[in-house]
Amino acid sequence: MEKIKKILNKLKINDDDLKFYGNNITKIDYENYFCNKKKGKLILMTSINPTQAGEGKTTTAIGLADGLNYLKKSVILALREPSIGPVFGRKGTATGGGESEIEPMSEINLHFTGDIHAISTANNLVSATIDSEIYWNSKLNFDSNRIVWKRCLDLNDRALRNMEIQISKNVSRKEEFTITAASNMMTILSLSKSEEDLRDRINDSLIAYDKNGEPIFLKSLEITGSLMVLLKDAIKPNFVLTKNDTPALVHCGPFANIATGTNSIISTNLALNLADYCIVESGFGSDLGFEKYMNIINNENDLIPDCVVMVITLRALNLHKDFENNFTHLEQHLKHVRLYNLNLVVAINFINGDSEKQLIALQDWLTKNNYEWELNEAYNKGPIGAVNLANRVIENSNRQFKFKTLINSQDSIKEKIKKIVNNFYYLNEINYTENAENSISQINLSKYKEYPICMVKSSNSIDGNDFNQKNYKLIIDKVIVNSGARFILVFTNNVMSMPGLNKNPNSKIIDLVNKKVCGLK
């Protein structure tokens, strides 16, 4: 605790604004530290489409932060909270690895400070209240077939995707669970900028329609006060340290394939106000996390990255057959960053056992095509292994650039979708189901038509064609307004918002041995 307090005092955080959870984790009462001083440099981490084990994006982000800290730079990481679903599923933990890790690893990956449990409880209180209102035949006159708000659980459980719940002897309705990381309450909290903003977003959330087809908003349930009480600590960023004593904020964890894919705006703003460099990670590949960062998180052009770091591994390049196809897949991802005229550095996350011959081929291609790159060796070597990458990022983040937008709020819903599909998925044809067409027509008549688009797409391939179908078509099958998060969800090709467990999940190898957690990976 003394070590973490010393670093917090160096950041000029008062002890009265801290709430400790053991010796290594504390929450920060953030409001006193937002000011009008010049903000720090924002470094955004992204990657190509990852392997099942990921690209080491978090590991690289931690290594880069450690490298900047080693160079005596003022830096704070701002990372997402891990979801227990992937921890016990296939993807595993989200705290880095090797010499590039945030601590305490097991606590962060499991219950941490209880934020995700608080978010799940708040989200499900809304659902429980809706069903109670239906049970008591309240004046809100709910149409039980048009409930928008879904329950959630922080586990992979395919059995909860579609179900029927019994509200009373005579009333039942269909229900869908989402994983908490894709829930309405997670995105609402992640995108809130203050307590007041959180309250407004909760009140404005569309939860259902009545029997006359009129929208019902969450404020009508009269439980906003209770929701604020449940979230009173969850809204505060969590502060921890890396293995090498670099400050890190770990807060909120929406998935990028079915939500926004980055940490909370509050933690990003706090880091930007406290340090000269803030390192933020966007989820999955640049076709998802980076796109959503630029078009949703940065919707008001107030969080423009000073430098984007594209993390790649030889294993992912081999997965996409890039060494055979002249790095076509990699170049598509690099073009995503160029769409916005942003500074760009490629970080090669070289893993023991990778081919030196392929590494040289990759480096030659990047140099020949004028892409700046550096090796990240922090996994094995610690901060010193990321010094070259850190210096390259410092140089690039201080370089002038002329930011260019891709999507305007005045664009129609279909124009926004088209720009994303054309520029990020490299597809020209978009197919809409009748259900999607009807939803878009309704939204076009509402005040929500100017909201940004949040695409729901597979993370395995750039266009969503995971199985290389010959006559593949991108199908928009569902369009939903999330008025609390203030975006429009666009579902493609039946992507699920509740994952299922794989055949041999990590939960089969995790154990408690001599009071220590083992098997987390």
CB atoms inside a 10 Å sphere around CB 276: 16
Give the separation between CA 15 and CA 62, rounded to whole angstroms. Answer: 26
What b/e string do you get for 171-201 counting C-beta neighbours within 10 Å, with b at 16 or more?
eebebebbbbbbbbbbbbbbbbeeeeebbbb
pLDDT tops 90 at residue 480: yes
- Average of per-residue pLDDT values in the chain: 94
Q: What is the mean predicted confidence (pLDDT) over 320-329?
A: 96
Count CA within 13 A, CB hemisphere, residue 17: 16
416 pLDDT band, cuts 50/70/90, is very high
Q: Answer whether 123's CB lies under 8 Å from 152's CB.
A: yes
- Per-residue model confidence as pLDDT tens digits over 265-305: 999 999 999 999 999 999 999 999 999 999 999 999 999 99
Q: Would you state the pLDDT for residue 199?
A: 98
Give the separation between CA 166 and CA 174, rounded to whole angstroms. Answer: 9
Token look-up 């906003």 returns 224
Q: Would you state the pLDDT for residue 36?
A: 59
End-to-end CA distance of the chain: 26
497 pLDDT band, cuts 50/70/90, is confident
> What interhelical angle do 184-191 and 195-203 show, nearest 10?
140
180 pLDDT band, cuts 50/70/90, is very high
Q: Three-class SS of residue 55?
A: coil
Q: Three-class SS of residue 233?
A: coil
Percent of the chain with pLDDT over 90: 85
Q: What is the mean predicted confidence (pLDDT) over 402-422?
A: 96
- Per-residue model confidence as pLDDT tens digits over 94-120: 899 999 999 999 999 999 999 999 999
Q: Would you state the pLDDT for residue 493?
A: 85
Where is pLDDT greater, at 34 or 456?
A: 456
- Per-residue model confidence as pLDDT tens digits over 280-291: 999 999 999 999
The predicted model scores a pTM of: 0.94
Q: What is the mean predicted confidence (pLDDT) over 142-163?
A: 94
Cα 330 off chain centre by: 21
DSSP letter for each residue of 320-335: TTTTTTTTHHHHHHHH
pLDDT tops 90 at residue 519: no
pLDDT tops 90 at residue 502: no
Q: What is the mean predicted confidence (pLDDT) over 60-71?
A: 98
Q: What is the mean predicted confidence (pLDDT) over 373-383?
A: 95
Cα 278 off chain centre by: 16
Tokens of 362: 């990759």
Give the separation between CA 78 and CA 61, rounded to whole angstroms. Answer: 9
Give the separation between CA 126 and CA 122, rounded to whole angstroms. Answer: 7
pLDDT tops 90 at residue 314: yes
Going along the chain from its start, the domains and CATH numbers come out as 40-114+237-398 (3.40.50.300), 115-231 (3.30.1510.10), 413-492 (3.10.410.10)
> What interhelical angle do 184-191 and 115-135 show, nearest 10?
130
Q: What is the mean predicted confidence (pLDDT) over 349-377?
A: 95
- Per-residue model confidence as pLDDT tens digits over 213-245: 999 999 999 999 999 999 999 999 999 999 999
Q: What is the mean predicted confidence (pLDDT) over 378-397?
A: 97
Q: Three-class SS of residue 258?
A: coil
pLDDT tops 90 at residue 500: no
499 pLDDT band, cuts 50/70/90, is confident
Q: What is the mean predicted confidence (pLDDT) over 444-463?
A: 95
